Amino acid sequence: WMEEWWEQLAYLRTRTTMAIHINWYGVVPDLGLPVTNVQAAAMMLHAVIEMRTTLEQGKYGVEQMRNNNLDMHQFTRVFGMTRIPGEDADMLQQAHTSRHIVVLRKGALISMPLYCPAGRPYGLSQLQSLVAAVIEIADSAILEANDEPPISVLTSMERDKWASVRARMLEDPTNGESLRTVESALFCLALDTATPSNKQETGWLSLGGSGRNRWFDKSFTVVIFENGRGGINAEHTPVDAMTIVSMFLRVLTTIRAMFPAQRAAVTATPTHLAAGTEVPRKLHW
């Protein structure tokens, strides 16, 4: 009863912007190997998928504090989770069977698959190709005569205002389909064009930067910068911060193990999408 009470009182009924009052950030430590943004993003996605598979198979070990087992329920509330704005109070919505993420770059939102049609997760090389394809889509889109506005900035509005705007957007079929795609995504990946030079700058940009490349309602967003540095932006409502921290410590352990074992694959140049790979799809509004 206390968890539900606290979730409502401290989070879902909060009407101010989430961007700086609820969401939090983390900085990914230096990986110890020069990598491009495509390589860094692919490694991160590969490790996150592996960690999710461990969770789904029930092999994620029970954590302890002072030799006492901790309740692991919150670990089931991370993937596919989105906070939906509502009048007076928000709600949490989770897509348990989701197989895609949404990538944000230069104001564009692009749906990208993490699993093949048969349900198997894509490997590192395929993920590199997918991320490269996403960047090509986003970077070519900005040259269009009628460039689309950065819709994601709406999630930084005060909650009642965002709820009203979202309700009007859902009246349009195209907007409705795009919103459902974002809200059902496993999580978000932000491919920022900034090149932070230190942890402090990386942290500030991961928290929100201009606010134009974050979907603040998603449970977490992996942020990869143009120079390969990384961070995370997480929504605090569904889980405690340490749940996300614990998960990403495992992700970083997996990534560090990839360097000696798969160095050639990690630093490979992305190839074209293989036949049968679902092509990333730009969302329209």
Q: Determine the Cα–Cα distance for residues 138 and 282; give it in Å rounded to an integer.
A: 8
Q: Find out whether 39 and 266 touch, Cβ atoms under 8 Å.
A: yes
C-alpha dist (Å) from residue 262 to 29, 259, 265, 267: 19, 6, 5, 9
CA dihedral angle for residue 208, residue 252, residue 239, residue 86, rounded to 10 degrees: 40
Residue 18 structure tokens: 């989430």
C-alpha dist (Å) from residue 126 to 41, 259, 278: 12, 18, 11
For 244, half-sphere exposure in the C-beta direction (CA atoms, 13 angstrom radius) is 26
The pair phi, psi for residue 26, each rounded to 5°, is -140, 155
Q: Determine the Cα–Cα distance for residues 271 and 128; give it in Å rounded to an integer.
A: 8
Handedness of CA 137, 191, 210, 285 (dihedral sign): positive
User: CA angle, corner 38, sides to 34 and 41, nearest 5?
Assistant: 90
Per annotation, catalytic residue among 46, 96, 100, 236: 236
DSSP code for 119: S
Question: Is residue 213 exposed (0-12), middle (13-18) or buried (19+ Cβ within 10 Å)?
Answer: buried
What is residue 25's predicted lDDT score, i.e. its pLDDT? 96
Instruction: Using the predicted structure, report yes or no on whether residue 141 has a pLDDT greater than 80.
Output: no
Percent of the chain with pLDDT over 90: 79
Q: Find out whether 221 and 23 touch, Cβ atoms under 8 Å.
A: no
Average pLDDT over residues 203-229: 94
Band (130; pLDDT cuts 50, 70, 90) = very high
C-alpha dist (Å) from residue 224 to 40, 123, 202: 7, 19, 10
Band (274; pLDDT cuts 50, 70, 90) = confident
Q: Is 21 a catalytic residue?
A: no
Going by C-beta distance under 8 Å and a sequence separation of 6 or more, which residues neighbour residue 212? Answer: 107, 150, 152, 153
Q: Determine the Cα–Cα distance for residues 34 and 39; give it in Å rounded to an integer.
A: 10
What is residue 111's predicted lDDT score, i.e. its pLDDT? 98
Encode pLDDT of 20-36 as tens digits: 899 999 999 987 788 99
Average pLDDT over residues 190-210: 94
Average pLDDT over residues 78-94: 97
